[in-house]
A and B are shown apart, each in its own frame.
Chain A
């Protein structure tokens, strides 16, 4: 099946710093989504981005489908950005069978 690798596995930032989170995948995809899971377990959809670039406030994401990777940028990080960031993909474009990566644990210190 399709493989998803996220890096780095852990990241510690000082409040106000910028960061880049990476998601590599092993095959072409028609569906790619980024999620943030906060320390209470709530999973929030950040971006639906099978290709191209999107921005939402301090967050932006870019997917280069031909090179099989996606990047999530966090600028001016805040303590509330702490949690686990997941990349999830599907080859077919169906929402079913989204394959999640292992996640990137981000800790933002005040």
Chain B
């Protein structure tokens, strides 16, 4: 069974640039959620995708957007990067959108300078 994989592991970008982070869900999982974790904090929910549709969004501006593909892999796109976007971005997949355990990838560490 293949777990959740994320790429890249680390990324350095300049303020104002755009970034795309990628996630492959665990086999058999149709739901992907993205979380942002600032240093010393718990993860914060960005949004969730279920069968290629957005299925819930947290308190993040529209410059955070996403996609889910037919194979259930997903992308997180962030436009007009700000210094405060520096964080660990975590992708999690689950068997279904409700009442099932979340399994996280190792994350992408984004640094905005």
A residues adjacent to B (C-beta < 8 A): 30-31, 33, 35, 40-45, 48, 50, 86, 88, 92-103
Contact of A101 among B42, B101, B106 (CB under 8 A): B42
Main SS of chain B's interface residues? strand
User: A102–B39 Cα gap in the complex (Å)?
Assistant: 11
B23-78 CB contacts (< 8 Å) to partner A: 31, 33, 41-45, 47-48, 55-56, 58
B residues adjacent to A (C-beta < 8 A): 31, 33, 41-45, 47-48, 55-56, 58, 88, 90, 92, 94, 96-104, 106-107, 109
Instruction: Evaluate contact between B97 and A96: CB separation under 8 angstroms.
Output: yes
Instruction: Evaluate contact between B103 and A45: CB separation under 8 angstroms.
Output: yes
The residue in B48, B90, B94, B99 that gathers the most chain A C-beta atoms within 10 A of its C-beta is B99
A100 CB, min distance to chain B CBs, angstroms:
3
User: A100–B40 Cα gap in the complex (Å)?
Assistant: 12
Instruction: Evaluate contact between B104 and A96: CB separation under 8 angstroms.
Output: no
Instruction: Evaluate contact between B102 and A102: CB separation under 8 angstroms.
Output: no
Instruction: Evaluate contact between B99 and A93: CB separation under 8 angstroms.
Output: yes
